[in-house]
Amino acid sequence: MLARISLIMGNLSAAGVNLLESLEIAKSVSNNVVVLESLENVKKGVFSGDTLTKLFLKDPLFPPTFGQLISVGEQTGQLDEMFGSVAKYYESEFDTTVDNLSSLIEPIMIVFMGVMIGGLMIAMYSPIFNVGALIG
């Protein structure tokens, strides 16, 4: 979600859309109530004159690195480029997490499939061996 918000804010900022409209459009991307409330609080803070850095650092939804990177963008005047960099950073972070999670799930799935197939084999051959024992 952070990557998506950053990407939208960066593209809109590069296109010359003002910050309040950018926040409103970024808000429309999410259907998560917590994210909507956080962005609304940020929008209200910007409207009252606070900096994005201060607002992002104050909100618990946004990690400290997010606010610090936006701070660099505000100080250098390259907010649109910094939003793009933040989006790339969080996309790569997400991809790494998904890759790690899938590599963790693979052995669990193999063990689960082995237990299922072993249980099925026991369920199939157990009656055959029981019949053989009764006859013999």
Domain borders along the chain are: 2-87
- 136 pLDDT more than 70: no
Share of the chain above pLDDT 70, in %: 99
What is the per-residue pLDDT for 105? 93
CATH fold of 2-87 reads Receptor-associated Protein (1.20.81)
pLDDT tens per residue across span 69-78: 888 888 888 8
Which position has the higher pLDDT, 134 or 8? 8
Q: Closest by alpha carbon to 34, among 69, 73, 71, 5? A: 5
The Cα–Cα gap between 64 and 25 comes to 23
pLDDT at residue 116, rounded to an integer: 96
Reported confidence tier of residue 56, pLDDT bands at 50, 70, 90: confident
| Residue 120 pLDDT exceeds 90 | yes
pLDDT above 90: percentage of residues in the chain: 22
- Checking if the pLDDT of 123 tops 70, the result is yes
Q: What pLDDT was estimated at residue 80?
A: 85
Whether 67 and 56 have beta carbons less than 8 Å apart is answered as yes
Verdict on whether the full-model pTM lies above 0.75: no
pLDDT for 29: 84
Please determine, for residue 130, whether its predicted confidence score (pLDDT) is greater than 70. yes
Residue 132 scores a pLDDT above 80: no
